[in-house]
Amino acid sequence: LYIIRSSHALWDNYLPKVYKMHETQLHELFQGASSILLADESTDSEDRYILDILFIPAFEDKKISSLIDVVFLKEVNSVKVSQAVVQTVSKYNVDFDQVSAFLTDNAMYMTKAWTQSLNGLFANAVHITCNAHIISLACKLWHKKLQDVNRFVTAWKHIFQHAPARKTWYKEYLKAINFYSEAFAPVPVLTRWNLWFETVLYHSERIHLYERFIEAEEELTTPTNALNELSETLQNENLKKQFEFVAAHAKSLMSAIKGFESSKPSIHQTFNTVSDLISWAERKAQNENLSTDTHLNILFKSVLFDTAQKLKGYYEKRGPRFTQPGVEFFKSVRFFDPCQVVTLRFDQGYLAARIPCFSKEEYNEFLSYSSAATETNHDVDAATYWFLQKERWPALAKLAIRCLSILPHSEDAERSLSRYGQVVTNLTKSLKKDTLLAHTVLVTQSQI
């Protein structure tokens, strides 16, 4: 029996060996596989810039997200990001031509890293910024415009922070009035984009119960700013109507975010999802009476109209500002869906300009496929369809599987960064740079 006498002995003697084995497995994993590259940046508690780089090999039966590098940067710009990405890809001997996508957030330096450097190296890849993140930016308009709702959500969160007795009393109160659920309200956080809406939906079901609870709290405890804020906001007769508006209209946005965060192949539905969302918001804003109160009707219409305009700003080319770089790919990749191809019109030049690796061989098979698709069951899953057609249209099937495996989001990169603070503690901050890297990668990878 061998005794490891200290944590430092474990880190210094054993962690490097385990990390080396992990690196070897990753080398084998990426050989010959079409890979999706993800990158995201943040800062740690010591204000260091951290760049997480992940790969997803596009296997036929599953996609495994792997955190392969954590790069500490002295400054963040397009050059530093490009250098870090290239060094990491080269380290694992990944074939540059096998990288099918570069998934990031919508930071300008990420866009510049792609347009000024990486797109020339990854000639067969497309750059896509996280669609879930873009939708969440439009959702922030709801926080800003519906100020009474947002004030209430924030104050409610504050009254339960560091207050276990109040939590117990709240559960007892709900039980005493025979309410069907004693669950607490979700707590909105920046990295969970649907949580604000989920919190508002929670309150919309219970807002009629809160006045008595707040009154009792004011009598039993010392008044706080948060309690006073809640009491004051509840006196606003329009608050309930604002909650009802969110409950009635937020589900379309929530559904889009949830869909874009899924690991299920959905890239061929991305353009349709966004287009439908924009059309829905515009139609609601222009044609429907959203409240009998004139002021609220104007407010609600402006929320939906501005949501549509925000999304159009990202998904339509409207000047020099940032737009989603993957829009044209989203449009053209729809032809890999046998349920959609029968309604779409593409020529060889259009597809070749928008889908990497699309050549004359793929186009010849595409002509046969587009004719056969008219007889396809409309319930068929696009990815499943192409796995079954490998022998019939081998070149086109290979390209279809490569494209359909691309995710419309960079959620795994966001998740790895959000866990960094849990992985790197005060105890591990003193580790050597290489040891800290190994510790961070292995622990984070086990949690993705």
Mean pLDDT value of segment 95-104:
94
Please give the residue that has the higher pLDDT: either 160 or 48. 160
pLDDT at 318: 62
Strongest mean pLDDT among 27-36, 53-62, 205-214, 420-429? 205-214
Q: In terms of Cα–Cα distance, which of 363, 349, 347 is closest to 399? A: 363
Query: What does pLDDT average to over the chain?
Result: 88
Mean pLDDT value of segment 79-100:
93
Homologous superfamily of 7-130+410-447 in CATH? Ribonuclease H-like superfamily/Ribonuclease H (3.30.420.10)
Mean pLDDT value of segment 195-212:
94
Half-sphere exposure of 148 (CA within 13 A, CB side): 20
Q: Per-residue confidence at 118, pLDDT binned at 50, 70, 90?
A: very high
Q: Per-residue confidence at 1, pLDDT binned at 50, 70, 90?
A: very low
Mean pLDDT value of segment 389-395:
96
pLDDT at 145 over 60: yes
Mean pLDDT value of segment 137-143:
94
Q: In terms of Cα–Cα distance, which of 198, 299, 305 is closest to 255? A: 198
Least confident segment among 110-124, 330-344, 370-384 = 370-384
Q: Per-residue confidence at 415, pLDDT binned at 50, 70, 90?
A: confident
pLDDT at 428: 61
Please give the residue that has the higher pLDDT: either 33 or 139. 139
Q: Per-residue confidence at 11, pLDDT binned at 50, 70, 90?
A: low
Please give the residue that has the higher pLDDT: either 135 or 61. 135
**Largest CA-CA distance found in the chain, in angstroms, rounded:** 78
Mean pLDDT value of segment 112-140:
95
Domain residue spans of the chain = 7-130+410-447, 137-250, 327-404
Please give the residue that has the higher pLDDT: either 222 or 336. 336
pLDDT tens-digit series, residues 204-262? 999 999 999 999 988 888 888 999 999 999 999 899 999 999 999 999 999 999 999 88
Least confident segment among 71-80, 91-100, 277-286, 318-327 = 318-327
pLDDT at 62 over 80: no
Report the distance separating Cα 138 and Cα 254, nearest Å.
Answer: 11
Q: In terms of Cα–Cα distance, which of 429, 435, 430 is closest to 12? A: 435
- The token pair at 37 is 């590259």
CB 50 within 8 A of CB 70: yes
pLDDT at 32 over 80: no
Report the distance separating Cα 142 and Cα 273, nearest Å.
Answer: 20
192, β-bridge pairs: 189
Find the radius of gyration of the CA atoms of the chain: 25
Mean pLDDT value of segment 32-36:
81
Phi/psi at 36 (5° precision): -100, 130
Q: Per-residue confidence at 192, pLDDT binned at 50, 70, 90?
A: confident
Backbone φ/ψ region at 406: left (φ over 0), alpha (ψ -120 to 50), beta: beta
15-22: Cβ within 8 A, 24+ apart: 15/435, 15/438, 15/439, 15/442, 16/434, 16/435, 16/438, 18/438, 18/442, 19/438, 19/441, 19/442, 22/441, 22/442, 22/445
Percent over 90 (pLDDT), the chain: 60
